[in-house]
Amino acid sequence: MNNGCGSGSESCLSSMEEELHVLAVDDNLIDRKFLERILKISSCKVTTAENGLRALEYLGLGDPQQTNVMKVNLIITDYCMPGMTGFELLKKVKESSNLKEVPVVILSSENIPTRINKCLASGAQMFMQKPLKLSDVEKLKCHLLNCRS
Amino acid sequence: MDTLIAQLQRQFRDYTISLYHQGFLDDQFTELKKLQDECSPDFVAEVVTLFFEDCEKLISNMARALDQTGNVDFKLVGSSVHQLKGSSSSVGAKRVKGLCITLKECCDSQNYEGCVRCLQQVDIEYKTLKAKLQDLFNLEQQIVQAGGRIPQVDI
């Protein structure tokens, strides 16, 4: 049974602990594998998607007929992806009445202020620099769980 | 008197430290190692294997694009090097990443000669790293087979 923030330090979770279900979106296989592992080791349930379209399908936005919608507590997406960028995915999520409350975190290897501002202005919860470290994920979890409770 | 295990462990420590000091690896590789545990005991090996496969594929794509003299698709080269830069950054392959940055600059300025030269260097560099990490994994295996534990190395 997973608990706490894993590092043995003061737990930042409330006593009503729920496992975060994260949808991780990245077109790069290595990054996807890395993201999946770093989230799992941080006690999250993880689903990965290799692009924005697949992510939307999983979230139930791809097909109006789809009734089986998976509940997701957090979307982490790479910014630079072919086809639909992470920014475009963010906007689609925020436009949806069902999903607009789901926090979206954007990841990018590039530290471009206009890009960051654009994402935050469109409702991104956070903008984080790749590559992620374990401590980044711990901080993110604490931030999100504190916002929720 | 040194046991075999102690000797192997010292070799492992020294070799690991040298890889960091010579700039082959950076602290992102350390982060990668943190993600390995009893539940995922081969995580690092799996990821670096995928990485080297990715290197081979992307370098081949870029070489083919650069071969089309007079009609080089710099956009394709650019997107491939972006991918490679991303993966090398994620696994801590410091030298490969550095060369990708240079290659990207050559590509952005459509510097054909620069791209060709740089790509050759990327190819050499990833193969060098691959051989070195293989040596490191072999040392790990030897330690385990001798009944020892793989030491934690603080850089």
What domains lie within chain A, and their CATH numbers? 21-147 (3.40.50.2300)
- Which residues of A fall within a CB distance of 8 Å from B40? 37, 41
Nearest C-alpha in B relative to A108? B86
The CA-based angle B104-A79-B61, given to 5 degrees, is 40
Whole-prediction pTM value? 0.88
Quick check: A72 and A48 in contact, CB under 8 A?
A: no
CA pair distance A56, A61, nearest whole angstrom: 5
Task: Point out the residue among B37, B47, B82 whose CB comes nearest to the CB of A33.
Answer: B47
Residue A109 in contact with partner chain B when CB distance is under 8 A: yes
Are A34 and B83 an interchain contact pair (Cβ–Cβ within 8 Å)? no
Are A30 and B37 an interchain contact pair (Cβ–Cβ within 8 Å)? no
Strand-pair category, A104-108 with A45-49:
unpaired
CA pair distance B32, B23, nearest whole angstrom: 16
Q: What percent of chain A has pLDDT over 70?
A: 81
Average pLDDT over residues B98-123: 97
Decide which of B47 and A4 is more confident. Answer: B47
Which of B145, B139, B112, B125 shows the shortest CA–CA distance to B11? B139
* Burial class of A21 by CB neighbour count within 10 A (0 to 12, 13 to 18, 19+): middle
Interface of A with B in 31-50 (CB under 8 A): 31, 33-34, 37-38, 41
Mean pLDDT of chain B: 95
Residue A85 in contact with partner chain B when CB distance is under 8 A: no
Q: What percent of chain B has pLDDT over 70?
A: 99
Q: Give the pLDDT of residue B143.
A: 96
The token pair at B9 is 């462990």
The model's pLDDT over A6-17, given as tens digits with 9 standing for 90+, comes to 444 444 444 345
- Which residues of A fall within a CB distance of 8 Å from B54? 29-30
Q: Which CATH architecture has domain B2-34+42-142?
A: Up-down Bundle (1.20)
Residue with tokens 């592992």: A37
User: In chain B, where are the structural domains located?
Assistant: 2-34+42-142
Decide which of B120 and A60 is more confident. Answer: B120
CA pair distance B126, B91, nearest whole angstrom: 12
